[in-house]
Amino acid sequence: MRKQILQLGLALAMGVGCISQAFSQVKPEILVEQRPAGMVMMAKYMYSIVPMAMGRVPYDAATVTRNVGYLEVLSKMPWDGFTPATADVKNTKALPAIYADPAKFKAAQDNFQAELAKLIAATKGGNEAAIKTAIVDANTKGCNGCHNDFRAKQQ
Amino acid sequence: MRKQILQLGLALAMGVGCISQAFSQVKPEILVEQRPAGMVMMAKYMYSIVPMAMGRVPYDAATVTRNVGYLEVLSKMPWDGFTPATADVKNTKALPAIYADPAKFKAAQDNFQAELAKLIAATKGGNEAAIKTAIVDANTKGCNGCHNDFRAKQQ
C-alpha cells in the first residue's frame, strides 16, 4: 500500500499521467480507450478509399497508395488491447464473444490481415480494377467479417 | 435537395455510415473524432517507451524499435484534421490558438517531426544511451512543445 502511494505520488509529481503505466501492466481501461482509437484510424483511411473503389468519387491512385500503406501499419496495432482483463470494462462495443471464443476472434483477425495483404499486393501491382476489387473485399470481407461477430451494432 | 435525399437514402440503404463522407468533404465533427484517435495511438507507443528511457522499467530494444517505427507513420496522420472548419466544433481539447496562429501551430508540428526524426535516426544508430535521450526529447520537446500552447490542460 505504501509502495502504491509512493508510486502514485511520483506519477502525479511528474505531471505525466501515462507514466504511471510504467509501474505495472497497462490498465484495462486504458486498453479499452486505445482499441477504438486504432479502429477510428483504420476507418479514416479505409472509408476514404472505399467510395473511390465503388466509383462514387474520383479514383486517386496516390491517395490509395498512401492509405493502404497506413492501413498496413495500423492493422497491427489494436489486437494487443483485447486481453481477458478487459472483458468486464464497460463503454465498449467489443462483444463478450471475443473472450468466449478467442480462437474464432483470432481467425477473424487473420482473415482481415489476409484480405489486407491482398489489397497491399494489388496496390503494388498497380492495376486499378484489381485494386478497387481488393479495397471492397478488404472492407466487406475483412473489416466487416470481424465486426459482424465481435462488435456491437451501431446505434 | 432531391439529390441530397437520394444520396442520404443510398448511404442509409448501404448501412455504411462512413460512405456518406464520399459525397462531400469529411464533416468537421468526424475530423474532430479522428484527431484524438491519432493522438491516443501516438501516446500508446510513446508512453510505453518513455519509462524505459527514464530507467523506470527495463529497456527493451525490440519494443523501442517497433514503437518508433509505428510513431514514424502515426506522426503523419493527425494534422489534416485541424482545418478551420473544425474551429467551432465542441468536445475537443484543441485550443483556438491553432486557428488564430496557424503558422505557429505548423512550426510546433515541424518541431515535433524534427525531434521524432532525431529519435528515428538514433534508433537506427543503435546506441542505447543516445536512443534514451532522443526518446525523452521527443516527448518533452516534441509532444509537449505542441501540447503546451495548443491543447487544453488535462482536467
State the complex-level ipTM: 0.83
For residues B41-55, average pLDDT: 97
Residues 6 or more apart whose Cβ sits within 8 Å of residue B98: B82, B87, B105, B150
Is the pLDDT at B19 greater than 90? The verdict is no
The pLDDT > 70 percentage for chain B reads 83
Taking the C-alpha atoms of residue A141 and residue A145, their distance in angstroms, rounded to an integer, is 5
Q: Would you state the pLDDT for residue A24?
A: 46
Q: Would you state the pLDDT for residue A62?
A: 97
Question: Is some CB atom of chain B closer than 8 A to the CB atom of A34?
Answer: yes
DSSP A153: P
The pTM of the full predicted model, rounded to 2 decimals, is 0.84
On average, the pLDDT of chain B sits at 87
Q: Would you state the pLDDT for residue B14?
A: 39
In sequence order, which ranges of chain B are alpha helices (DSSP H)? 2-14, 28-46, 50-53, 61-74, 97-100, 102-125, 128-137, 144-150
Q: Would you state the pLDDT for residue A70?
A: 98
Distance from CA of B55 to the nearest CA of A (A): 10
Q: Tell me if A48 and B57 make a contact (CB, 8 A cut-off).
A: no
Q: In 3D, which of B69, B50, B148, B142 has the Cα closest to residue A18?
A: B50
The pLDDT > 90 percentage for chain B reads 80
Q: Tell me if A41 and B41 make a contact (CB, 8 A cut-off).
A: yes
Q: Would you state the pLDDT for residue A25?
A: 78
Q: Tell me if B37 and A22 make a contact (CB, 8 A cut-off).
A: no
Q: Would you state the pLDDT for residue B83?
A: 96
Question: Is some CB atom of chain A closer than 8 A to the CB atom of B6?
Answer: no
Interface test with B, best of A3, A39, A44, A48 (most B CBs within 10 A): A44
Q: Would you state the pLDDT for residue A154?
A: 66
Q: Would you state the pLDDT for residue A29?
A: 96
Q: Nearest chain A residue to B56 by CA: give it.
A: A22
Q: Nearest chain B residue to A48 by CA: give it.
A: B22
Is the pLDDT at B6 greater than 70? The verdict is no
For residues B46-59, average pLDDT: 97
Q: Which residues of chain A have pLDDT under 70?
A: 1-24, 154-155
Q: Are A38 and B41 in contact (CB under 8 A)?
A: yes
What are the pLDDT digits (tens) for B73-93? 999 999 999 999 999 999 999
Q: Are B137 and B115 in contact (CB under 8 A)?
A: yes
Q: Tell me if A34 and B40 make a contact (CB, 8 A cut-off).
A: yes
Q: Chain A partners of B73 at a C-beta cutoff of 8 Å? A: 69-70, 73-74
Q: Would you state the pLDDT for residue A3?
A: 40
Q: Chain A partners of B136 at a C-beta cutoff of 8 Å? A: none
Q: Tell me if B19 and A44 make a contact (CB, 8 A cut-off).
A: no
Q: Chain A partners of B77 at a C-beta cutoff of 8 Å? A: 41, 44, 70
Q: Would you state the pLDDT for residue B25?
A: 78
